[in-house]
Amino acid sequence: MAKKTVKIKTAGNGGKGESVNNHSNNYTAKDIYVLEGLEPVRKRPGMYIGSTGVDGLHHLIWEVFDNSLDEAMAGYAKNILVTLLPGNKVRVVDDGRGIPVETHKQTKKSALETVMTTLHAGGKFGGESYKVSGGLHGVGVSVVNALSKSLIAEVCRDGERWQQEYERGNPKSKVKKTGSCKGTGTAITFEPDSEIFRDIRFNWDTILEHLRQQAYLTAGVRIQIRDEREKEEHLHKSYAFCFESGIKSYVKFLNRSQKNKNESIFYASKETNGIFVEVALQYIDDLTARELAFANNIYNQEGGSHLTGFRTALTRVLNDYARKNGYLKDKDGLTGEDVREGLTAVIAVKIVNSQLQFEGQTKSKLGNPEARGAVESVFGEAFSAFLEENPSEARAILEKVILALEARKAAKAAKDTVLRKGVLDGLTLPGKLADCQSRKAEESEIFIVEGDSAGGSAKQARDRRTQAILPLRGKILNVERARLDKMLASKEIKALIIALGAAIAEELDVSKIRYHKIVIMTDADVDGAHIRTLLLTLFYRYYLPVIEMGYLYIAQPPLYRISKGKDVRYAYLEDEKEKIIKELVKIAEAKTKKGKEEKEENENPEVQEIETEGENPPAGGLPAGGRGVSIQRYKGLGEMNAEQLWETTMDPGKRVLKQVTIEDAAEASKTFDILMGDEVAPRKLFIQTHARAVQNLDI
């Protein structure tokens, strides 16, 4: 990238002999802007909630909800209700102590108004009100107030109900008494400001998943969510969560569709050195690991010291038990990779607010070094005792991790064979690969094509300079059910690995990948969908960084070629086909001459037929007046000639590509488990649930 030179012209004396530092005379107190109250939040909302997109919008709910959850964690609340209301409003109610309403000594305003209109004001910044809280990861309800078009705060305390209304963070009136009430609690009702957020529609599933997770982490607290929005797609749903077993129930939920290795879920909890530690785990018949780490109910996506302590203790305890009971040979040792295969674990710590440390602004990684020692001590001691007291459970776990050890050795040998003798050592690429001429990965793309027939058309159609073609024969191995050594024995998978040139699994180096667009191009039928799913499983399990970098795409070949005369159109959906036919008929009718020919046609009506190629069109679905309209249904890519394949599916100027992304890794993993795992019942339920959403199904 070319550098831009900026010339600075100094003031005075024609700009000669002047020091640039003289500009400091123009930088005075008037240039310092002081944003009072909640004004900085509205000026720079991204600094407080991360973004003004969908994530930031839902963060508003989390902030209000966290205040209620903190009351529950402190032992003052047992029930929290979150309601989605008409007009994009949200109401959060708890039965905690209620925000104080008396005059605050420092601000000379009601404590309620102080909390709602002042940044960093609340019971978590000092005193004994909240020793442990989750709300500290955000900036409080005052930010929600600033970013809401309207907000109403209601408090029940000492038998009296108090209320204050706000508009974009500004009080519309003073805190006023509105009547009497029984019990105590706080209710916050807010409407996000459309001036701040591009889209103010809340996602039911996102909220449901988050609140369910929080219920697991706060045992015994009842969290309810209602959807009362006045829209047809929302049927006033209502769910309530309350888990007396806490994270133990969470592990059970995560493994609900899996085959367990150890039947009973291990659970331990203890406070040590001021840190409360909870750990629950269970092994399943799977190749991947799921480890969820939390600090004060905040999900630490990148783990941190508590996760490190857990992993260290897990590896040490299993190695000690295995050697003591003759499961391991002297020269062998279990690695962290071995002991985590098939593991589902939830690690949760609660730390006093004043000592809580996170790395980075996103709070995705816990930084407290003492948390490592606390988890390692509590979990290590309890898990060692669990194995000694439950020999049958211990045997099931040890058989699982030792199998992983043996598979790791076999996989290493297989990878050495595939990778070191492949393109990584400069040898030839797979013979079936028609490579592109360019060696610049950023402009190169590879089409993974189903079958030799489609591969032949694609090779003729492609732009040889930037487009490579790799045809695959048949359906590749389901890697969800196979270990790496067996997977690397597959010729088709081996060819793909060598063609991509970036190794695989833990040796994957995305910087060496040969194409920045990897396009899965399969037929638009059931078999094509199956092959596509098998390839997606391979990429998700072994090439995840490729998806995260945005390099994986799915091609969208058309279902129909529709023509009338020289006018040719392509339909990618069933609904599109009907629309195109009507447009072609309309164009033809517009060209029809009026007069004698039209009169003769009216006097001598005849049945008009639509000429079709391939399958017959559905009965009753085509408009009248379609004489000469030709419809060709593509059953596969091989039915297209090179020109058609290029102009519909491969031409960068006309094609439609779907980029593969992952919004929720845990949910994606669960979906792959259901679709590609060994258990039939969950897959059958998934198909029955989503059958109506299927399009283009060939029966």
Catalytic residue status for 199: no
Provide φ and ψ at 291, rounded to 5°. -120, 115
Query: How many residues are given for the chain?
Result: 699
CB atoms within 10 A of CB 158: 10
Best CA proximity match to 370, nearest among 388, 390, 350: 350
Of 66, 286, 341, 450, the catalytic one is 450
Distance CA 335, CA 638 (A): 48
Catalytic residue status for 527: yes
Distance CA 16, CA 228 (A): 71
Distance CA 568, CA 580 (A): 10
Of 291, 527, 576, 583, the catalytic one is 527
Best CA proximity match to 674, nearest among 666, 663, 685: 685
Q: Taking the CA atoms of the chain, what radius of gyration do you get in angstroms?
A: 32
CB atoms within 10 A of CB 409: 11
Q: Interior CA angle at 46 toward 44 and 51, to 5°?
A: 145
Residue ranges with strand state E in 242-394: 266-272, 275-283, 290-295, 298-299, 343-351
Catalytic residue status for 525: yes
Residues with Cβ < 8 Å from 131, sequence gap 6 or more? 74, 352, 353
Residue 236 and residue 227 in contact, taking contact as beta carbons nearer than 8 Å: yes
Residue 197 and residue 54 in contact, taking contact as beta carbons nearer than 8 Å: no
Residue 92 and residue 64 in contact, taking contact as beta carbons nearer than 8 Å: yes
Of 480, 523, 639, 673, the catalytic one is 523
Annotated active-site positions, please? 450, 523, 525, 527
